[in-house]
């Protein structure tokens, strides 16, 4: 069963509290929307399933088409439909980041800038100290609880967001929380720097290949590489060629491995899931393949996503680009 009340909180950060590695360890954030409604974001920093350390990634200059679909700063809680084309997050299908860049971090250890609490604190304190900063917290809402004060910050009514992490490919008793287009995350907008910061968290026990309907883990084929270690990757695209439509758009893939890869049955997919088959046959080690997008693949100038699928239809790699990145006619985007 997917999350019951998935959405995004648009607010400003006003305080934070670290719980370290206590019994129910979270990094707690106190937020307030434009109407003055208080919320608490409870961000997991330790897994109840082994391995206990969470996977973490911060993208310091985040750019993605979903930024154009967010609610207004300070708008409070907005429910989100769990599907593509809007603001909902999906770590696998949304091409938000490269999973290979995530790193496991302990919740709290002695020293500076070496644990998950330190990393979160670095960015949240920036948001608290910047009066123009906006924070967007994706996850599942709880409350409001009219007669219950918040247990951390004391405001009334109790109200907040949790599950601020990947919410699919779970194992054990958390299997029931699986769903697609319902992942959690934290976005911070610093308008004075013209910068978006994105923070993504996942549990090491979660799978990176999941069913497109249920979000449940798919059993990988024997010998299948782990997420981020696939040999073939999308490295470039020409989304806005010179000249009027229809344009000669292209996508370039690279075999980064030391051995040839047979591309028979492989395909490229756009944001609307149109499929463009790759030519069968081996792609030599270290070789590039540039192929026309053709009528099957729609690479819009207003931003888009490109996903590489193997013969089983499982995602191998994915990228995304914004309208701003595609605005220059004739320029090839590199990923």
Tell me the three-class secondary structure of the chain, residue by residue.
CCCCCEEEEEEEEEEEEECCCCCCCEEEEEEECCCCCEEEEEEECCCCCCCCCEEEEEECCCCCHHHHHCCCCCCEEEECCCCCCCCCECCCCCCCCCHHHCEEECCCCCCCCCCHHHHHHHHHHHHHHCCCCEEEEEEEEEEEECCCCCCCCCCCCEEEEECCCCCCCCCHHHHHHCCCCCECEEEEEEHHHCEEEEEEEEECCCCCCECCCCCCECCCCCCCCCCCCCCEEEEEEECCCCCCCCCCCEEEEEECCCCCEECCCCEEECCCCCEEECCCCEECCCCEEEEECCCCCCCCCCEEEEEEECCCCCEEEEEEEECCCCCCCCCCEEC
Q: What percent of the chain has pLDDT over 70?
A: 96
Query: Is residue 220 included in any domain, yes or no?
Result: no
Asked if residue 223 belongs to a domain, the reply is: no
For residue 283, the domain's CATH number is 2.60.40.1260
Q: Which residue has the higher pLDDT, 122 or 301?
A: 122
Q: What is the pLDDT of residues 47-88, one digit of tens each?
A: 988 889 999 999 999 999 999 999 999 999 999 999 998 999
Confidence (pTM): 0.86
Boundary of a domain, candidates 203, 223, 248: 203
Q: What is the pLDDT of residue 151?
A: 95
256 and 176 in a single domain? The answer is no
- Give the confidence band of 173 by pLDDT, cuts at 50, 70, 90: confident
Please check whether residue 14 lies inside any domain of the structure.
yes
Query: Is residue 157 in a domain?
Result: yes
pLDDT at 117: 95
Domain extent for 327: 232-334
Residues 244 and 107 in one domain: no
Which pairing describes strands 38-44 and 158-162: parallel, antiparallel, or unpaired? parallel
Q: Residues 315, 269: contact at Cβ < 8 Å? A: no
The reply to whether 144 and 244 lie within a common domain is: no
Assess whether 37 and 129 both reside in one domain: yes
pLDDT for residue 295 is more than 70:
yes
**Residue 130 within a domain:** yes
Among 27-36, 84-93, 107-116, 259-268, the range scoring the smallest mean pLDDT is 107-116
Q: What is the pLDDT of residue 171?
A: 85
Residues 329 and 199 in one domain: no
Confidence of residue 222 (pLDDT cuts 50, 70, 90): very low
Q: Are residues 268 and 318 both part of a single domain?
A: yes
Last residue of a domain, one of 203, 219, 247: 203
Mean pLDDT of 178-186: 97
pLDDT at position 221 is 44
Average pLDDT over residues 220-237: 70
Asked if residue 214 is part of any domain, the answer here is no
Residue 31: inside a domain, yes or no?
A: yes
Mean pLDDT, the chain, rounded, equals 93
- Looking at the fold, whether 123 and 266 belong to one and the same domain comes out as no
In a shared domain, residues 171 and 25 = yes
Contact (CB, 8 A) for 29 and 162:
no
| pLDDT, position 228 | 54
Asked if residue 266 belongs to a domain, the reply is yes
Is residue 232 within 8 Å of 256, Cβ to Cβ? yes
* Domain identity same for 65 and 191: yes
Start-to-end Cα distance in the chain? 35
What is residue 226's predicted lDDT score, i.e. its pLDDT?
54
CA distance 93 to 289: 23
Q: What percent of the chain has pLDDT over 90?
A: 82
Instruction: Give the per-residue pLDDT at 21.
Output: 72
- Which pLDDT band, with edges at 50, 70 and 90, does 1 fall under? low
pLDDT digits over 250-281, tens only?
999 999 999 999 999 999 999 888 999 999 99
Rounded average pLDDT over 210-234: 74
Number of domains in the chain: 2
Do residue 271 and residue 167 come from a single domain?
Answer: no
Quote the pLDDT of residue 16: 97
254 and 296, same domain (yes or no):
yes
Are both 283 and 326 inside the same structural domain? yes
Residue 223: pLDDT band by 50, 70, 90 thresholds? very low
On whether the CB atoms of residues 29 and 40 are closer than 8 A, the answer is: yes
């Amino acid at each position: 069963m997917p999350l019951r009340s998935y959405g995004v909180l648009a607010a400003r950060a006003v305080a934070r509290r670290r719980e370290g590695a206590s019994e129910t360890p979270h990094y707690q954030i106190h937020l307030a929307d434009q109407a003055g409604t208080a919320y608490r974001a409870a961000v997991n920093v330790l897994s109840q399933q082994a391995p206990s350390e969470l996977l973490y990634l911060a993208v310091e200059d985040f750019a993605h088409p979903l930024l154009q679909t967010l609610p207004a700063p300070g708008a409070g809680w907005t429910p989100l439909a769990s599907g593509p084309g809007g603001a909902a997050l999906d770590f696998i299908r949304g091409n938000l980041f490269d999973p290979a860049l995530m790193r496991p971090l302990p919740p709290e250890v002695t020293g500076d800038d070496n644990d998950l609490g330190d990393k979160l604190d670095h960015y949240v304190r920036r948001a608290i100290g910047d009066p123009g900063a906006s924070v967007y917290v994706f996850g599942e809402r709880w409350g409001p609880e009219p007669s219950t004060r918040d247990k951390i910050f004391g405001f009334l009514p109790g109200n907040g967001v949790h599950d601020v992490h990947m919410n699919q490919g779970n194992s054990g008793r958390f299997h029931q929380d699986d769903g697609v287009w319902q992942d959690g995350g934290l976005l911070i907008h610093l308008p004075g720097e013209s910068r978006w910061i994105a923070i993504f968290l996942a549990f090491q026990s979660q799978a990176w290949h999941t069913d497109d309907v249920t979000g449940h883990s798919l059993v990988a084929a024997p010998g299948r590489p782990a997420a981020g270690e696939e040999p073939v990757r999308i490295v470039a695209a020409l989304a806005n060629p010179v000249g009027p439509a229809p344009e000669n758009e292209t996508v370039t893939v690279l075999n980064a491995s030391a051995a040839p890869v047979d591309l028979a049955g492989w395909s490229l997919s756009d944001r609307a899931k149109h499929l463009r088959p790759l030519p069968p046959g081996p792609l030599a080690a270290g070789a590039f393949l540039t192929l026309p997008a053709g009528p099957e693949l729609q690479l819009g100038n207003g931003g888009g996503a490109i996903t590489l699928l193997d013969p089983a239809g499982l995602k191998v790699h994915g990228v995304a680009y914004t309208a701003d990145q595609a605005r220059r006619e004739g320029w090839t985007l590199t990923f």
